Each structure stands twice: as C-alpha cells, then as structure tokens.
Amino acid sequence: MPRNTARRPLRSVLVALLGALVPLLAATVLTAPAASARPQQAAAPTATLTEVTNFGTNPSNLQMYLYVPDSVTANPAVVVAVHYCTGSGPAMYSGTEWASLADRYGFVVVYPSVTRASKCFDVSSPQALKRDGGSDPVGIKSMVDWVTRTYSADTSKIFATGISSGAMMTNVLLGDYPDVFAAGAAFSGVPFGCFATTDGSEWNSACSGGTVTHSPQEWGDLVRSAYPGYTGPRPRMQVWHGTEDDVLRYPNFGEEIKQWTNVLGVSQTPAATDSPVSGWTRTRYGATGDRAPVEAISLQGIGHNLYSYGMASRALTFFGLDSSGPAPQPQPGACKVTASTNAWNTGLTASVTLTNTGTTSVSGWQLGFSLPAGQTITNGWGATYTPASGTVTATNATYNGTLAPNTSVTIGYQASHTGNSVAPGTFTLNGKVCNVS
C-alpha cells in the first residue's frame, strides 16, 4: 500500500517488474543500444518520493525510498541521505532539503529506512564494520547499485550524508566502501568503529559518552581493516558537531578528525580556520578550499539536534555538486541576519533583524531557522512562527511583507529553554542562506 509523507504523496511502484520489462522490450525492438543516457528513467516517477522494492541483496530488511527530480541530469550524481534513530526515509525526505536541492541540481536521492524496532542503523556489529559483511551497509550498497544501473549514474559522484545514527552510518559506509563513495557529510556522529560491540547490543555507552579515544593511526587502522588490501583513493569527509551534544558527546568530533585525517594522509594541523557563521568554527585539513580532504565544523553552545536548513547546501558545496545541474546555486549574501537573546532561568526573549542586502525588493518573506535543543517559542511578534520548536519558519506580518533593497525588519519571540539560551546560528530567507553577523 502507498504511504503518505509530509512533503508530497508517496507512490508505490512495481519497480522489479519495470526493471525486467524495460531491457526486454529494448532487446526485442532495437538492433543497437539506445542512445539515451537514461534508458530506464521511467523506472520510478519523478518529483515524488517512491518506495523501491526488490532492489538487491538486503540482509537486514531495509526499505529503500527514492527521489528523482523532474530535472534529473544524464548520468546523475547520487546522494544517500541516512536518517536518525526513531526516524525513517520519509521523515528524512520531508525534514531536510535534499529533495529540493535535487530539484535544483538534478541529482538522485536515496533514503534508506530501518525496519527494526529501534529505528537505528547497525553501526556496531562485526558484520556492519566489514565490507560485504552483512547487515545495513550491504543493503544500502545494493540501493546505490540499483540506482547506478537504472539511471546510469556517475559512479564518481556517489555521496553519503546522515544525522546522528545516520551520521554514524555515513562514517561506516565510507569505511566499508571507499571505492563507492566520493565523500560524506556526518552531522553529530562518531568515528568508524567507535560503536563496535560483540554482544549484539546496538548501543555503546563508552563511545556515546566520548570516552573512547585512540591515536590517529589506530583510528585509521580501524577504517583500513574494513577493506583489507584496498589501496585506491579514499573518500573526503565533512563532520559537524555541537559542543553541548549530550547524546554523542563532543569528544567524538575530535576523534573523527583524527581518524579521517589519518585515513586521507593529511596533517592534523588545520590548513585553514574560519567562522562562516557566528558561533561556528570551521577547520580544513589537507587543503584550504571548499573540497579539502577533511572539513570540520564545530557549533558553539549547540546540542545534539544541530541540523538546520542551509547546512545541506554547505555539504553540497563540499561534495562539489553545487556548480552543475539545471540551475545555479543561490549565493549567500542576499540577506543578512543579526540575532541576540536575553535569558533568565528558564526563559528568554530573542530579537532578530533581517536585512535585504540584494538589489531587488522582496515581496513576502519566510525566515527559516532551527531553535537550539530545549527551546520552545511561547509567543512572538512581527511574524507568525511555526512550529514552536525544532525547524521554525517565521512568516511576515501583513504590514512588513515587503523589504526594499538595503532595508531591514526586526522581529522577535519569547521562548522557554532547558539550559541552552543561545540564538539560532543559521537563517534562510525564502530558501536562500543568509549571512549572520
């Protein structure tokens, strides 16, 4: 039966039947291979989330969800977007902007979905931590292979990204399949092998608590042991972590850096350090540009649920996918935001000033941002705020909906908090990333 999602209706398709019929028809009608770069494009409908079944070897009974944009390019790139514990493929689809980025740049998105009760990915068993060893990584690799066959995907442009459990799986996928993935972006994760257990448990308290430490060489050896004898190129890695993460503690961030700098053979001393957003510290290792071998972003005062809209665009830049496709990337700088808070024991007030720094008027605006974990808006002014926590959209009031070039509007809200009273660190204006000052 078809499932519904919050973003668009979900259709269930007979992918296995179509996958068999299309090549059969081509063989009986044509005397030479088809010239199209995407001969099986109709295997899934476009611009909607689709569940694909019978996609290949799947030892842990994962579900595969697929998003193919109307604007899918010939030989498209593939992004595997892996959900958090308690999440699902459809939740990752509706709760992140990967599908809208696919619309813009023409790549395909795969959303693996766990069916086990915990809804967490297996990043701990011996099977998961070995190439073709079994469990979730094998199923995800089968999904990638299915997309590669069906859409003639560019095998040099396969990427993985994930949040929390999905971030841990991103580390695992890059370790197990360095010949498949070109790069990864892990939001609130842990190093490859850190969660390893041998008793069947899915949880490793020492790792989650940040007490598992190794030398860079030891961390690197764990990755290399997943695919013994492999001497080819290794995928680049981008890691994100909040300093106040109380689920997967912040020391894991430093251990990830140690691991991937060793795997990629670059110095642990940053080649560049900057602050692209207030409260962020970004370090790059092995190179100074957007595609450095390792990039690490530390978010001061932010907890485990750090992911917010705009971050996927930065991961896309790290992947190198924002300069190709049917449309150019919207560049930051068309808007500027200044945000501050005034806090007391369990509450705060926030003031947010939005400035149109572009050259044309904005008629009707929506300001997107993510509240830090533990904050809930109780009332606001100057805009309508929905929802009250998590990823929030502030929509203009009737009297301030037009912003001429170089003009500003100040809005605000009151919120409760459980200890973290900082202001949001990233903002988007009608989907475009704003500079934060």
**pLDDT tens digits for 216-267?**
999 999 999 999 999 999 999 999 999 999 999 999 999 999 999 999 999 9
Question: How far, in Å, CA of 39 to CA of 137, rounded?
Answer: 28
What was the pLDDT predicted at 435?
Answer: 83
Q: Which of 164, 188, 208, 298 is catalytic?
A: 164
Per-residue pLDDT for 329 more than 70? no
Q: Tell me the mean pLDDT in the region 179-188.
A: 97
What was the pLDDT predicted at 432?
Answer: 74
Residue 307 contacts residue 370 (beta carbons within 8 Å):
yes
Per-residue pLDDT for 327 more than 50? no
Unique residue bearing structure tokens 């409908």: 45
What was the pLDDT predicted at 11?
Answer: 42
Residue 68: what residue type? V
What was the pLDDT predicted at 67?
Answer: 97
pLDDT tens digits for 378-409? 999 999 999 998 888 899 998 998 898 889 99
Per-residue pLDDT for 138 more than 90? yes
- Asked whether the whole model's pTM tops 0.75, one would answer no
Residue 5 pLDDT grade (very low, low, confident, very high; cuts 50, 70, 90): very low
Contact residues for 187 (Cβ-Cβ < 8 A; gap 6+)? 161, 162, 163, 164, 166, 167, 240, 306, 307, 311
Residue 161 contacts residue 170 (beta carbons within 8 Å):
yes
Q: Tell me the mean pLDDT in the region 314-337.
A: 69
Q: Tell me the mean pLDDT in the region 138-152.
A: 97
Q: Tell me the mean pLDDT in the region 300-328.
A: 84
Distance of CA 419 to CAs 14, 187, 307, Å?
Answer: 50, 22, 19
The token pair at 171 is: 């580390």
The token pair at 241 is: 């972590």
Q: Is 164 a catalytic residue?
A: yes
Residue 96: what residue type? T
The token pair at 24 is: 């059969």
Residue 13 pLDDT grade (very low, low, confident, very high; cuts 50, 70, 90): very low
Q: Tell me the mean pLDDT in the region 155-184.
A: 97
Per-residue pLDDT for 19 more than 50? no
Residue 83 contacts residue 162 (beta carbons within 8 Å):
yes
Instruction: Name the nearest CA neighbour of 198 among 124, 132, 121.
Output: 124
When comparing pLDDT for 308 and 32, which is higher?
308
* pLDDT cut 90: percent of the chain above it: 74
Question: How far, in Å, CA of 310 to CA of 330, rounded?
Answer: 11
Distance of CA 109 to CAs 87, 136, 141, 214, 294, Å?
Answer: 17, 18, 14, 34, 23
Q: Tell me the mean pLDDT in the region 419-423.
A: 91
What's the chain's length in residues?
437
Question: How far, in Å, CA of 366 to CA of 25, rounded?
Answer: 48
The token pair at 354 is: 């939005």
